[in-house]
Amino acid sequence: MSAIDHYFVPPPSRWPIVGAIAALLVTVGAAGWINAAAAGRYVLLAGVAVLAYVVIGWFGAVIGEGRSGVYNDQVERAFRVGMAWFIFSEVVIFAILFWALLYTRFFVENDLAAGDTKALLWPSFSGGWPTSGPGITDTFTAMSGKGIPLLNTLMLLASGGAVTLADSALEKGRRGLLILCLVVTVCLGMLFLRNQASEYHHAYTALHLTLATGAYGATFFVLTGLHGVHVAIGSLFLLVMLARVLHGDFTAKDHLAFQAATWYWHFVGVVWLILFVIVYWL
């Protein structure tokens, strides 16, 4: 860490505006693809490619600044606070989605299946959960918490233990154990995503459960899909940390980026535990 006594201000950068363009392409492309637009998937792929370019370039610039010694303790504190607020914002997003699911299940669904509302609007709606909701007659089978979801839960728990052990190994200077634990964590994250893709395929083909299957289908795929995106981001984050460890970066006293990656991975694990209970078991 450099002994500089001034606050580092980065030079003007093109990455924020390019990142905004990438986000726009991804959003428009995904919306178009879901709604069967011919160019939707190509716009989505273009957005993902631009986003990958931004991530590589922007993170590369930050890593280069860190290696050059331009960051002081005040900058590191700013990074820590920024990461904490970022994770807090993610917590709020998932909390809102969890509440939407619980409110739909325990309040909206009950109100629609009882009293004057049922008699006037949907006389044939009997309620109960899981349900597609009134006005949707497609039949489906609900997801079970056994099998792949339970296996994914065990893998995320194991990965959380592995990344904690990796953090301890870094502080003790045991780089061999550090590398092994990071490899295990990334592999478990990739296996989680592979299992989730298999679960989605089974849901669509065998259980007839899709995004269009009303309240249950929408909440299931939005929550599990958003979490899957976070697992993918966390796995990529840790993969970058593994590459940096192999490059010789990080010491017991200077590993802020590595700590940020472990915080994010623990957040992903805790969210999954809550999701596993609310979505698969309640």
Give the pLDDT confidence of 85-124 residue by residue, as tens digits. 999 999 999 999 999 999 988 887 777 777 666 666 667 7
Residue range 78-281, CATH number: 1.20.120.80
8 A C-beta contact, residue 278 and residue 102: yes
Higher per-residue confidence, 5 vs 215 = 215
Does the structure show a pLDDT above 90 at 75? no
Percent of the chain with pLDDT over 90: 59
Of the candidates 19, 101, 108, 3, the one whose C-alpha atom is nearest the C-alpha of residue 56 is 19
DSSP H helices, the chain, are: 15-34, 40-68, 73-103, 109-112, 115-120, 148-171, 175-205, 214-247, 256-275
Q: For the chain, give every domain's residue range.
A: 1-71, 78-281
**Confidence grade of residue 51 (pLDDT, cut at 50, 70, 90):** very high
User: Which residue do the tokens 């597609």 mark?
Assistant: 132
Task: Answer yes or no: same fold for 1-71 and 78-281.
Answer: no
> Cα separations (Å) of 216 from 71, 113, 131, 238?
48, 15, 6, 33
* 56 secondary structure, DSSP code: H
Q: Which of 59-73, 147-161, 204-218 has the highest mean pLDDT?
A: 147-161
| 27 Cβ neighbours under 8 A, 6+ residues apart | 47
* pTM of the predicted model as reported, rounded to 2 decimal places: 0.86
Q: Measure CA 225 to chain center.
A: 8
Structure tokens at 206: 């065998």
Q: Name which of 29-38, 76-85, 121-130, 249-258 the model is least confident about.
A: 121-130
pLDDT at 2: 45
- The CATH architecture annotation of domain 1-71 reads Orthogonal Bundle (1.10)
Q: Please compute the mean of the pLDDT values over residues 133-137 and round it to a whole number.
A: 73
Count of other CB atoms within 10 angstroms of residue 272: 24
Choose between 47 and 110: higher pLDDT: 47
- Tell me the pLDDT band of 59, cut-offs 50, 70 and 90: confident
Q: Is the peptide bond before 130 cis (omega within 30 degrees of 0)?
A: yes
The whole-number pLDDT of residue 3 equals 46
Residue with structure tokens 């893998």? 155
